Amino acid sequence: MTPKRYWQHDGKLLRSVTNWSLRRLVEGADPRLHNRSSAELDDALGETVVPAGIGGDEALRLFTEVVVPATRAQDNPMNLAYVPAAPTEAALVFDLAVSAANIFSGTWEAGAGAVAAENQALAWLASLAGWPATAGGCFVSGGTVGNLSALVAARERAKARHGDGSPRRWSFAATTEVHSSIRAAARVLDCVVLEVPVDDQGRMTGDALASTLDRSDLEGIFGVVASAGTTNAGVVDDLAGIAGVCQDRGLWMHVDGAYGAAALVAPSVAERFVGIEHADSFVVDPHKWLFAPYDCCALIYREPEYGASAHSQFAGYLETLDRSEWNPADYAVHLSRRARGLPFWFSLATYGTDRYREAVETVLATAREVADEVRTRPDLQLVMQPELSVLLFERSGWEMADYEQWSAQHAEAGTVACAPTRWQGRPVLRFCFVNPATVVAEVALVLDSLGADTEG
């Protein structure tokens, strides 16, 4: 029997939306940034949420003519700001299929097929870290939720070990270079962050961690957050040294690799991640440098039982769940979840892991070649050799206002998206490469616009 439809089935509208989506996939987006104020956008949109509706055709027109132009094209090869995205065509188009399937994948009972496929993608990521086949986790919305969930599991393990002797307030160690989500997680957890000093390259080392722990009088230190590719500079901490300290002192080691852990797939930089095999948890965002659409973060535990112990939810309406099967709701701060890992899985299955390795290596090579281009220009100075694919450099004589003006002009023109940042207190320019389609010659032309005859 054909199910009764409550909502009007408009075949023409479905085709219009699908056709626009396919054109966007094939043609790409306008790289220009059309910044508009909230007042301008409210005026352009008009009243859309009204009792009688405005109709699908008008809603689609507003989406294509007003909404989309007022957003940044994250997948443009010349978007080098923050950490952009470069999803594959297979991942993008499959995201539409995942939405159409409308899968609830919080539990095995509702989404077994989706969960099984997602777990294959998670298993591949865990294998890159040298973890056992028993490792596992789930996909969450982003590094913020992933980092928070891992720290919750770490604290719960410490609580179980302390028993009745648990401290009044818990704490964990991290550097000033960790992602802002780590300090946000500390506020949510009401934890104190023990600050570990970094070396001149912005890294946490095992020696600095041990020294800081020895000097600290904080109670309840349960873990350490290391970075595998800091957002600001792409720096990888001394994972091996940190792992040794954590093992000696019984501390949970969490690795925030939201951006940089994608490079685990690349043999050319494999030595930089030595030590991650001893971590207790790590995150990596496929929507950053593993070519998946937003939003998608992989949270993986070496021993998933600690994740389940911290996050499993119990209620009368959940009593029938089969706890012997893999329920993603048990491994993070969530219950409801879409199968956000499926577009990533589909892309991996479509192109193969060899192709992924080649793509990441291509990006690493691009970063190194652009660094060489910077060195040939007398008005530009490289801050450091890129460790992964983040490039920091400065222009002689410029202050932050000059960088901001230059960045705004290029964003509006659509030539490049680049957000300046600060390194050791001074303003610098920052490129972040994640797209294998970025062309070095085009970036070199952008560097030319920073010459001595360029106005700030």
Whether residue 294 sits in one domain with residue 206:
yes
Is 165 a member of any domain? yes
Tell me the average pLDDT of the chain.
95
Same domain, 225 and 287: yes
d(CA 233, CA 253): 21
Q: Is residue 31 part of a domain?
A: no
Asked if 190 and 249 sit in the same domain, the reply is: yes
- Encode pLDDT of 32-49 as tens digits: 877 789 999 999 999 999
- The verdict on 253 and 275 lying in the same domain is yes
> For residue range 262-317, what is the model confidence (pLDDT) as tens digits?
999 999 999 999 999 999 999 999 999 999 999 999 999 999 999 999 999 988 87
Q: Is 228 left (phi over 0), alpha (psi -120 to 50) or beta?
A: beta
pLDDT at 257: 98
Is pLDDT at 23 greater than 70 in this prediction?
yes
One domain for residues 277 and 313: yes
Q: Is residue 259 part of a domain?
A: yes
Q: Looking at the domain assignment, is residue 39 inside a domain?
A: no
* Domain endpoint, select from 351, 369, 395: 351
Domain boundary among 351, 379, 407: 351
* Residue 454, pLDDT score: 54
Q: Are residues 161 and 303 in the same domain?
A: yes
Whether 318 and 394 share a structural domain: no
Give the pLDDT confidence score for residue 456 in this predicted structure. 45
CATH of the domain at 438: 3.90.1150.10
Report the C-alpha gap between 122 and 136 in whole angstroms.
7
**What's the total number of domains in the chain?**
2
Same domain, 331 and 422: no
Is residue 379 very low, low, confident or very high in pLDDT (cuts 50, 70, 90)? very high
Q: pLDDT above 70 covers what percent of the chain?
A: 99
Give the pLDDT confidence score for residue 150 in this predicted structure: 98
Q: Mind listing the pLDDT tens digit for each residue in 409-439?
A: 999 898 999 999 999 999 999 999 999 999 9
The pTM assigned to this predicted structure is 0.95
Please identify, among 321, 351, 381, the residue that sits at the C-terminal boundary of a domain.
Answer: 351
In a domain, 419, yes or no: yes
Q: pLDDT band for 28, please (50, 70, 90 cuts).
A: confident
Q: 104 with 192, same domain? A: yes
* Same domain, yes or no: 167 and 122: yes
| 215 within some domain | yes
pLDDT for 66-113, tens place per residue? 999 999 889 999 999 999 999 999 999 999 999 999 999 999 999 999
Q: What is the CATH number of the domain that holds 134?
A: 3.40.640.10
Residue 142 within a domain: yes
Is 3 inside a domain boundary?
no
Residue 233 pLDDT class (50, 70, 90 cuts): very high
Residue 349 pLDDT > 70 = yes
Range of 200's domain? 95-351
**pLDDT, position 439:** 97
Same domain? For 103 and 194 the reply is: yes
pLDDT digits (tens, 9 = 90+) for 116-156: 999 999 999 999 999 999 999 999 999 999 999 999 999 99
Q: Are 134 and 270 members of one domain?
A: yes
